[in-house]
Structure 1
């Protein structure tokens, strides 16, 4: 498989690294010579300098032989035109573009992306996806992460095991059914002291662990309570940053949770006025610096249940969150782009970290994976993914009971969906062709996992 990636920023370079590690032929194009050289020298990929939407650049990058073009430069227009050139001149079969400007994302603009107009197979909007992710976290306040899978019939939860009332601390995972009758949950991953692993039944949950749990939506409150989390849904929210993420989030909350009182802090007067006009009486928009305690006090951040910091600056997001928490705010959800900051977030009292790059990467990788994979969510950049895949006729996955088919180390089946029935499987459970399977897969075991998913038709992507 050959893929051309346009853009050598954090998203483009991370995608290129993932794909190269899987043995895929990757060429990365960037107009910045230093960026292109860094990618070329750091990873097993070819980095080249050039304008990503120019035909001669794509020709040199090998677009004529490419199976996919992924355009994630900083420019929406370059990404869109690169897909157009890739299709019209080189007939690249699959084209993915990151598009940020809301004007291009309006439902009325969707006709732009049809095959006879500007043929883009997948349009990714990080700002909208991030706003959706934050809205989900607000609906499940005790979780630092929450992802719906299998059309909403399965829920993936990220939970801090940091409360004294967590019933599972000091217990083996195999003992959970004794503590929580009919638990209907499975712990698919544990992060301890910054290191992630796929647990076995003999592993013990320790205070301070972050665990990822698979369960059903109607059992979420019960699961959270057993983990010691019974936080109430926020009714007073302060949003720091009136950019695309903040504006999208405010609109979602106003539409889906009208009981929430929203206050927003925006540093730019011009943007604050624009956002205020957009939101009308659905939110109070304040012009000011969120690092100024007087501005935070004016927003009543100390009495808010949640502060959501989503400016374009990581440091502003982190420190405004810390200040709000110190003033009495109960919870902080913070947007952070730099992965190097992630290990220090818990020590600063930040409850949930949102990474736009991780969300973008997850969405793109889903379209590169085996054809049976319908959804994918990255759990920590270097660790692995939770995938949703359709069990194929003739695959190893349907060849016998789960405990007898030889699942590779690093692969754990968390749930099986058959029709409207969700099963948290035990070792004797058999997966049937056509079932949707929710599985944790580490990157080390990814190739073996894809071999398990491949049916009688072979390992197609």
Structure 2
């Protein structure tokens, strides 16, 4: 695929690095040459210093042969304008990063398509939705649902007292209890397990199960249920505001924002949250605002270290559920070691949504797992594809791929060995980066 990416910021850089390993022809366009130099030397891609709204620079980036143009600069208007120009100059598909909630309404999405913007991506909105989802199911590190919430994939940190620890997976009654263990993250490694593998204390384990069996899975993982009602958000960023807007009405939300002028702006946007002007790192202030009574603490400042340490302190003060925005991927291990419950990373979330546009198979969704370098994909099995030619236990699936479940005419089947995938099935697949292209060939 010929891909032109406009914007060498966090999202654009992450996407360019990821796609450059997959034999795509990548051109990364940015106005600042200093943003391009580290990538030009270390990755298999072309860089071009220029403006994405310059017709000359777009032509110089070979836009007429681009299969995909991705505009992810920090400026919404620049992204939209560059997509319109790129489409007119020959790009087959365009994607624009935006920060306006009105634009992603169904009627406006169609309007942008007529202009030449095929797809819109709003990372802050996607991040806020992930946060709210994690608050609704505390105790869970990461959660994705399929089939209107009837099929659920969850990541859980396992402690030594869990019933499934130190037992070969082949001896667990996962089949009878209608769940499947798809992967295990241990330290910095992600394992696609076999029946001989065992879960160890401290592992993050990814399960797929039905909504009705979720309590069984949590019990097997040693997790106790508790409800979240009182939430404190540190940082009145766009993600923080979106999170406060998306939480259920029965939540009591407090937002702590250090900037006084921004505090007043947040008050104008939110009618259900209490906004406190102050420093969220001030423990005396947090005590005065009742942090000990909070069920969840969400740290969304622009500083990863502050977010991680604040969550650690919130844990020490009795808060059960913590969420931290960590944009520096190198800090994921630190956040994990400090016991941060859920890690939010905008660039990975955005990249997952854009990434599915580069796949040849019919992919409905791609989800990036924050605690792992793996991806979860929902694919449609095509008529005559290799994946439909036998039962799963008769097929030699790649070692870096695991089939989780099948949705067939609204009915859910957890993928055990005697299941056969049929044409038209929606299939949930867990795979490491090395397995993505193999999966395309199977489907």
TM-score bracket for this pair, using the shorter chain length: over 0.9
State the match for 2:211 in structure 1: 217
Correspondences of 1:48-447 after superposition (within 5 Å): 48-88=48-88, 90-102=89-101, 104-105=103-104, 110=109, 112-115=111-114, 118-162=115-159, 164=161, 166-177=162-173, 182-253=176-247, 257-280=248-271, 282-380=272-370, 383-447=373-437
Which blocks of at least 5 consecutive residues in structure 1 are unaligned? 454-461
> Following the alignment from structure 2 to structure 1, what is the Cα–Cα distance between the partners of residues 200 and 371?
23
Distance 1:314 1:106 in 2: 31
The answer as to whether partners of 1:8 and 1:39 remain within 8 angstroms in 2 is no
Distance 1:108 1:246, change over 3 A: farther
Q: Distance in 2 between matches of 1:310 and 1:104?
A: 24
TM-score, normalising length: structure 2: 0.96
2: CA distance between counterparts of 1:171 and 1:405?
Answer: 26
- 2: CA distance between counterparts of 1:428 and 1:106? 42
Q: Structure 1's 442 and 215: CA in aligned 2 closer, same or farther, altered over 3 A?
A: same
1:322-365 CA-partner distances (Å, limit 9, x unpaired): 22222222221111100010011132231111111110111111
* 3-state SS, counterpart of residue 172 of structure 2: helix
Superposed displacement of residue 138, structure 1 = 0.8
Shift of 1:18: 2.1
Tell me whether 391-400 or 4-13 shows the greater mean CA deviation. Answer: 4-13
Shift of 1:197: 1.6
After superposition, give the CA deviation of every residue in 1:388-446 in whole Å (9 maximum; x if it has no partner): 00001111000111122221121111101111211112222111000111111211122
Contact 1:7/1:29 (<8 A) preserved: yes
Q: Is contact 2:14-2:347 (8 Å) kept?
A: no
| Secondary structure of the structure 2 residue equivalent to 1:275 | helix
What's the CA shift for 1:190?
0.7
Residue 279 of structure 1, CA deviation = 1.8
8 A Cα contact 1:150 1:388, kept in partner: no
How many residue pairs get matched? 443
Q: 1:111 Cα deviation (Å)? A: 5.9
Q: After superposition, what is the alpha-carbon deviation per residue over 1:261-290, rounded to whole angstroms, capped at 9, x for unaligned?
A: 11110111111112122222x121100110
8 Å CA contact 2:190, 2:372 repeated in 1 = no
- Consecutive unaligned residues in structure 2, runs of 5 or more: none
Contact 1:146 1:158 in 2 (8 A): yes
Cα distance in 2, alignment partners of residues 176 and 412 from structure 1: 18
Aligned to 1:459: none
Q: Partner residue of 1:458?
A: none
Distance in 1 (alpha carbons) for counterparts of 2:428 and 2:139: 23
Check conservation: 2:180, 2:208, Cα contact below 8 A.
yes
**Aligned mates of 1:55, 1:345 — CA distance in 2:** 43
Q: What are the equivalent positions in structure 2 for 1:8-87 lying under 5 Å apart?
A: 8-87=8-87
Q: Secondary structure at the match of 1:311?
A: coil
* Separation (CA, whole Å) in 2 of partners of 1:308 and 1:29: 35
How far apart, CA to CA, are the structure 1 residues paired with 2:101 and 2:387? Answer: 42
3-state SS, counterpart of residue 261 of structure 2: helix
Per-residue CA shift, 1:120-143, capped at 9, x if unaligned?
111111111011001110111010
The 8 Å contact of residues 184 and 191 in structure 2, kept in 1 or not, is answered as yes
Task: Give how far 1:301 is off.
Answer: 1.2
